[in-house]
Structure 1
Amino acid sequence: MLNITKKILKWIPAVFIACVSFYLSSQPHLEMMPGFWNADKLVHFICYAGFCFWVSFACNTKNYGTLKGIIIPVLIVSLWGVSDEIHQSFVPNRSVSAWDWAFDTAGAVFGAVFFVFIRQKLLKK
């Protein structure tokens, strides 16, 4: 029972980020966006990097090799990005953007690789 509770608790940060992402994607206009050109792409990259870091943490098992430990979380987060873009097509003043999804996926790759890097550094100690 304790093992199942531990597995569920590991998903809390990733689920929280997914909920915040869904909420923000439901807003017709976001006032808090930085004011420089293509700032939204940087925000997508950073948010999805963090999201994938926590998905990697939740998926982390000793049986995952480095490549599998990167691919599975990136696929999960990238598919979330696709569903997020589709969701935005139903929100007034929002649109689908393949570029947003590309930056989501690039951020996911960074987040997963960063997690593996941190995990390996911590395991060496």
Structure 2
Amino acid sequence: MQTQATSSSKPPRPLLRWLPAILVMAAIFALSSRTGGQLDTWLPWFQDLFPGLTSFNPVHYFAYFGLSVAFAIGFGFSRLNVSRGLAVILLCVAYGATDEWHQSFVPLRSPDVNDLLHDGIGAAAAVILLWLWRFARMRRGSRNYSRS
């Protein structure tokens, strides 16, 4: 009697594509678990580096830009059409809403609708840049095929 190869011990490739999203969400959760006092130690340094950003926390843009790219990896870059792009943005905003709710339980932190807006802008910026990159690659590829 033959036994099947133990291919079940290796996770399927599509599941591995979602690993970056899980890691980015874990990092966002860990950062949002920090108290306001802990965040005040490095946020002023960043705002000193960029003086025009005193009333603005760019971390939301960067974090949700990264989460958006990670979700796009999960869906597969080549399949990032308009509906999947909108799904990526909605997933990011939904995760941002849960993150803001989570912050309501962290000392010296509070939920902020403006942070959720910044999360959505960061996610949308990533999707738009990915679409532009994909479009440029497709266009460059079609030019390579048209040459004789």
Q: TM-score, normalised by structure 1?
A: 0.85
Structure 2 residue 16 is the aligned partner of structure 1 residue 6: no
Structure 2 residue 78 is the aligned partner of structure 1 residue 68: no
CA distance in 1, matches of 2:63, 2:55: 15
Q: Can you list the C-alpha shifts for 1:14-45, whole angstroms capped at 9, x where unaligned?
A: 111100000000010312221340341x2111
Q: Which amino acid is the alignment partner of residue 85 of structure 1?
A: E
Q: Which amino acid is the alignment partner of residue 115 of structure 1?
A: L
Q: 2:42 aligns with which of 14, 32, 48?
A: 32
Q: Which amino acid is the alignment partner of residue 54 of structure 2?
A: W
2:130 is matched with: 115
Q: Can you list the C-alpha shifts for 1:72-122, whole angstroms capped at 9, x where unaligned?
A: 100111000000000000000101100000000011111112222223333
1:58 is matched with: 74
User: Is the CA contact (8 Å cut-off) linking 1:74 and 1:105 kept in structure 2?
Assistant: yes
Unaligned runs of 5+ in 1: none
Pair 1:59–1:88, CA change in 2 (3 A): same
CA apart distance, 1:46: 1.6
Unaligned runs of 5+ in 2: 1-6, 48-52, 142-148
Structure 2 residue 96 is the aligned partner of structure 1 residue 96: no
User: Is the CA contact (8 Å cut-off) linking 1:69 and 1:116 kept in structure 2?
Assistant: no
Any idea what SS the aligned residue of 2:87 has?
helix
CA apart distance, 1:62: 5.7
Q: TM-score, normalised by structure 2?
A: 0.73
CA distance in 1, matches of 2:118, 2:77: 27
Pair 1:51–1:39, CA change in 2 (3 A): same
2:50 is matched with: none
1:43 is matched with: 59
CA distance in 1, matches of 2:94, 2:85: 14
User: Is the CA contact (8 Å cut-off) linking 1:53 and 1:111 kept in structure 2?
Assistant: yes
Any idea what SS the aligned residue of 1:21 has?
helix
Matched residue pairs, number?
A: 122
CA distance in 2, matches of 1:50, 1:120: 20
